[in-house]
């Protein structure tokens, strides 16, 4: 998707995932001590690279269709990463390949013993295409019983909504109902993904559902709903945006692994909040920055990272410039 405004990503589940170009994923590496071991591993990797060139998209699709076990989902993961690579524009327009992967996912969803990990990566791969061939099966996946599969499908529908147009994706058979159902599920991570997708769709019905999600019991769901509504200038997002600007983000950081993760996540929340406030003021100048001044002052006094301080100053400067331009525009 051409890069869209940043949004708070839902918490990462334990299912292995590829790294599409819009979302950052934290991968934990187990470091084995010993320079000799590391050097040997690197040497073997280099030899393997030269001896066995990377498979093509067609070869990976063939592996997904005909192989068994972990080989299939690993091939799907590779193919998803390949499709997400910016230079692969022609591959993303390959309707035949999209149809081939959609057929595999459809079979997995209808079979009793579906491979959930394979389905997750197939959804991810199908979301990277620039064709609509995958919409029906992604709608089916988004309505399935497996939450990681549903979440992957909902996230992929967000990518397709950005690439193909929100109205076209929303009106596709089953998509609307699947996203709305996901927004009401008991799983917070799935609701958060649905909020993000609703924000990308952006039509009136999606915004009405997002307004309801501002009162969600889960903080990440609320944040995703608010940042989505801010992009359209919806003033109902103000209350949750103020919540996002608070220096203490204890509720949002409760699941962080360690202090370093808490610092990173807090900075991400504040950066997203400041960007959303800027988008809100730009889309709806009648709101004005006055309602945010106290929150911005408290955030500034909390000694945030320099990147956050710079964003605060930029937001204030942009508002001053806008206020200075008003008399000129009235002439």
CB proximity list for 237: less than 8 A, separation 6 or greater:
214, 225, 226, 227, 229, 230, 276, 280
Number of other CB atoms surrounding residue 260 within 10 Å: 9
Q: How far apart are CA 132 and CA 22, in angstroms?
A: 20
Q: How far apart are CA 57 and CA 34, in angstroms?
A: 36
Q: pLDDT tens per residue, the chain (331 residues)?
A: 444 444 444 443 434 443 333 433 322 233 333 444 445 555 655 555 455 678 899 999 999 998 888 899 999 999 999 999 999 999 999 999 999 999 999 999 998 667 899 999 999 999 999 999 999 999 999 999 999 999 999 999 999 999 999 999 999 889 999 999 999 999 999 999 999 999 999 999 999 999 999 999 999 999 999 999 999 999 999 999 999 999 999 999 988 889 999 999 999 999 999 999 999 999 999 998 999 999 999 999 999 999 999 999 999 988 776 666 665 445 5
Quote the crossing angle between the two packed helices 259-283 and 306-330, to the nearest 10°.
0
pLDDT score of 185: 96
Q: How far apart are CA 228 and CA 275, in angstroms?
A: 11
Residue 53 dihedral angles phi and psi, to the nearest 5°? -60, 155
């Amino acid at each position: 998707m051409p890069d869209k405004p940043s949004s708070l990503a839902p918490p990462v589940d334990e299912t292995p995932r590829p790294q599409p170009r819009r979302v950052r994923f934290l991968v934990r590496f187990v470091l084995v001590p010993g320079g000799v071991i590391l050097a040997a591993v690197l040497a073997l990797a280099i030899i393997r690279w030269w001896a066995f060139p990377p498979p093509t998209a067609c070869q990976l699709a063939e592996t997904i269709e005909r192989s068994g076990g972990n080989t299939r989902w690993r091939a799907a993961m590779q193919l998803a990463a390949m499709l997400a690579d910016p230079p692969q524009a022609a591959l993303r327009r390959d309707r035949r390949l999209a149809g081939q992967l959609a057929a595999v996912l459809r079979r997995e969803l209808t079979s009793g013993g579906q491979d959930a990990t394979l389905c997750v990566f197939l959804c991810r791969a199908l979301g990277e295409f620039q064709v609509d061939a995958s919409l029906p099966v992604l709608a089916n996946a988004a309505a399935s019983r497996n939450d990681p599969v549903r979440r992957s499908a909902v996230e992929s529908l967000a990518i397709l909504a950005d690439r193909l147009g929100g109205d076209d994706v929303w009106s596709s058979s089953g998509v609307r109902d699947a996203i709305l159902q996901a927004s009401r599920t008991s799983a917070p991570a799935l609701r958060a993904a649905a909020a993000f997708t609703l924000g990308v769709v952006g039509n009136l019905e999606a915004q009405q559902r997002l307004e309801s999600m501002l009162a969600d019991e889960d903080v990440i769901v609320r944040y995703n709903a608010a940042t989505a509504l801010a992009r359209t200038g919806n003033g109902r997002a103000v209350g949750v945006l103020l919540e996002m600007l608070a220096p203490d983000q204890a509720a949002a950081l409760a699941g962080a692994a360690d202090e370093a993760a808490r610092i990173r996540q807090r900075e991400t929340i504040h950066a997203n909040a400041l960007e959303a406030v800027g988008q809100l003021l730009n889309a709806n100048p009648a709101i004005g920055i006055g309602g945010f001044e106290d929150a911005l002052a408290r955030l500034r006094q909390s000694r945030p990272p320099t990147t956050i301080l710079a964003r605060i100053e930029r937001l204030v400067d942009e508002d001053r410039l806008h206020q200075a331009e008003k008399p000129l525009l009235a002439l």
